[in-house]
Structure 1
């Protein structure tokens, strides 16, 4: 009986390991100079709502999740292309587990937390192009698998906005 349990666990590990994405090494170096606009003062506000719809039709909000504002530099564009491809959603089971991002990359992002209804806001945003990203995941954290995943959208701030820029992060 024990052998059967260990064999099943090993098989499950192999299957899960095969589903996890492995990101190829970056071909573009991170440039702090290219990302520096995120640290400049701006007048724009980006507001949004992050959620996913379950197959049953139930909406799950990104309640309490960290939402990231990432300058759309060449480095970030390559990372997002590798992770998402031509979609705006990557399933939880396909998250890369071997992320080797340049440590400075995270220093040139801004974060906030989504409210219980999945709403979030960034204020004083400088002109530029940004990725806005978070995750919407459900299921027991101790469970074998979880559902949902990571979502993003691309936002352009011109500096001429008189109203907040509203973004929907649903993966569609």
Structure 2
């Protein structure tokens, strides 16, 4: 019986690895200087709502998920293009199996958590173009596969905004 369980686990791992995409190596190096604008003081506010709609038309919010604000540098643009292609959504099953990235990249992002209703806010944002990204995942955490995935959109702050800039992260 144990042999059957181990064989099934090995097969599941092989299938999962085969379903996950791997990205080609980056051609653009991460530049802390190019991303430095995220650390500048700013008066901008970005508000948003992150959710996905199931095939059954039920809306699932990104409740409690980490939302990232990423400066749209050359490195980030290439990274997002490789991961998402022309879409603003990538299914959970298509996440890259290995996602080694320059550790400084994460140092030049900001994060917040989505509320239970999927809404989030970034305050004191400096002018610039950013990617805003999070996950909307549902299903049993112990299940073989989960549904949902990663969503993103881009937003630009000019520094002249008088109202918060709103972004919808739905994958559409």
State the match for 2:89 in structure 1: 89
TM-score (norm 2): 0.96
- Match in the other structure for 2:161: 161
Aligned pairs for 1:16-95 (under 5 A) are 16-95=16-95
The alpha-carbon deviation at position 4 of structure 1 amounts to: 4.2
Aligned to 1:124: 124
Contact map agreement 2:17 2:97 (CA 8 A) in 1: no
Measured on the aligned residues, the alpha-carbon RMSD in Å equals 1.1
TM-score by structure 1 length? Answer: 0.96
CA distance in 1, matches of 2:7, 2:141: 23
Q: Report the 3-state secondary structure (helix = DSSP H, G, I; strand = E; otherwise coil) of the residue aligned with 1:161.
A: coil
Task: Give the whole-Å Cα distance in 2 for the aligned partners of 1:4 and 1:66.
Answer: 38
- Is 2:135 the partner of 1:145? no
Q: What corresponds to 1:113 in structure 2?
A: 113
C-alpha deviation, 1:13, in angstroms: 1.8
- Please state whether the residue corresponding to 1:64 is helix, strand or coil: coil
Between the aligned partners of 1:88 and 1:128, the Cα distance in structure 2 is 20
Task: Give, in whole Å, the separation in 2 of the partners of 1:109 and 1:10.
Answer: 36
Q: Output one character per residue of 1:43-96: Cα deviation in whole Å (capped at 9) or x when no partner.
A: 110000000001111100000000000000000001101100000000001111
Q: How many residues align?
A: 172
1:168, 1:17 → 2: CA distance? 31
* d(CA) in 2 for partners of 1:2, 1:102: 40
| Structure 1 outlier segments of 4+, above 4 Å | 1-4
Post-superposition Cα deviations, 1:98-134, rounded to whole Å, max 9, x if no partner, equal 1111010000000000000000000111110000000
Structure 1 regions of 5+ residues with no counterpart?
none
